Amino acid sequence: MKLIAVTDIIKSVRDLPSLPIIVMELLTSFEQPDANLTVLAEKVSHDQALAAKTLRLANSSFYGLSRKVTTIQQAITILGFDSIRALVVAAGATENFRSVKHPTFNFETFWRHSIGVAVCSKQLARLVNENQNYAFVCGLMHDIGRLVLVTRFPSEYGAATKYRDAQDCHMLEAEKEVLGVDHALVGRLLAESWKFPALMQKAISNHHDPEPSDMGGMPSIVHAANAIVHGLDLTNSQNDLVPEISEDVWKSLNIRAVDLRRLFRDTETDFEEACQILAA
């Protein structure tokens, strides 16, 4: 099968529908400390679908609130703008590819894995004093390039899947061998096209192979979370191989054994609740 040209991927990425404007503004605001939070919150409130989904997640046991919140402003007061921003971005992102079908690609499994990595990334970020909500969004979006390949090059991706099954290898290896590109590269192209923050672009692009400058930061967090979620087998996927965690990454995160056990437990506890809301 003919390899996929990067120029064809770029064209396909440009043809994709953009994320909702409010989601784009919220993504940009992660790296804008002077962003007008009141205006952004008002815009969220006016998007009924996003606001409703965000409130469902805010009121779930995922956040353990003692009383029900009924408005975005109230949710921001209780949970903080960072949390609500992450929830809105998550809600918007999960809608963009929802209606697409593919004969050999399981979208439910894909989203469950992505949500698992989001939850685990948030837990890891807490342990290393990074922005937990930013980590949640980076984890959720880490495999977004795979959706571009599946939806825009379905037959080619089907061939890569068959190669993976026949060779019993990681999907990343199969993509490179059969397609000539992998989902991390495609994810970076999409993140650039959608104008994601630079750090989020790096987390998506480098989540399989963090660079020295990534050590201890967001790309390392997502890299480790991806491997941990595969290891926990949260999606019950057949033929799911666990990728290795870079030794340099693990050293840079410096997670104690007692914290690691708690990380596993908390990720499993929060996972199903998050799936019920985000993948509903």
Binned at pLDDT 50, 70 and 90, residue 61 comes out as: low
pLDDT higher than 80, residue 35: no
Domain ranges (residues) in the chain: 20-96, 101-280
Neighbours of 194 (CB within 10 A): 20
* Residue 193: half-sphere exposure toward Cβ, Cα within 13 Å: 20
Binned at pLDDT 50, 70 and 90, residue 17 comes out as: low
pTM over 0.95: no
Q: State residue 8's pLDDT score.
A: 84
Tokens of 85: 């921003």
Tokens of 257: 């054994």
Binned at pLDDT 50, 70 and 90, residue 203 comes out as: very high
Spatial neighbors of 111 by CB under 8 A, at least 6 apart, are 94, 275, 278, 279
The listed range with the strongest mean pLDDT (69-73, 106-110, 111-115, 213-217) is 213-217
Q: State residue 105's pLDDT score.
A: 84
pLDDT higher than 60, residue 187: yes
State the CATH class of domain 101-280: mainly alpha
Integer angstrom CA distances of residue 87 from 1, 42, 103, 199, 208: 40, 15, 30, 18, 25
Question: d(Cα 164, Cα 173) in Å, to the nearest integer?
Answer: 8
Report which of residues 5 and 100 the model is more confident about: 5
Q: Residue 108, class by beta-carbon neighbours within 10 Å (0-12 exposed, 13-18 middle, 19+ buried)?
A: exposed
pLDDT digits (tens, 9 = 90+) for 133-176: 889 989 988 999 998 898 889 889 999 999 999 999 999 999 99
Please list, residue by residue across 51-60, b when 16 or more beta carbons sit within 10 angstroms of its beta carbon and e when fewer do.
bebbbbbbbe
Query: H-type helices in 128-152, by residue range?
Result: 132-141, 144-152
Question: d(Cα 189, Cα 205) in Å, to the nearest integer?
Answer: 9
Q: State residue 211's pLDDT score.
A: 94
What average pLDDT does the structure give for the chain? 85
Tell me which H or E stretch contains 108: helix 107-127
3-state secondary structure of 166: helix
pLDDT higher than 60, residue 280: no
Tokens of 3: 């390899």
Tell me which H or E stretch contains 128: none
CA angle 210, 140, 147 (to 5 degrees): 90
3-state secondary structure labels for all residues of 224-263: HHHHHHHHHCCCCCCCCCCCCCCHHHHHHHCCCHHHHHHH
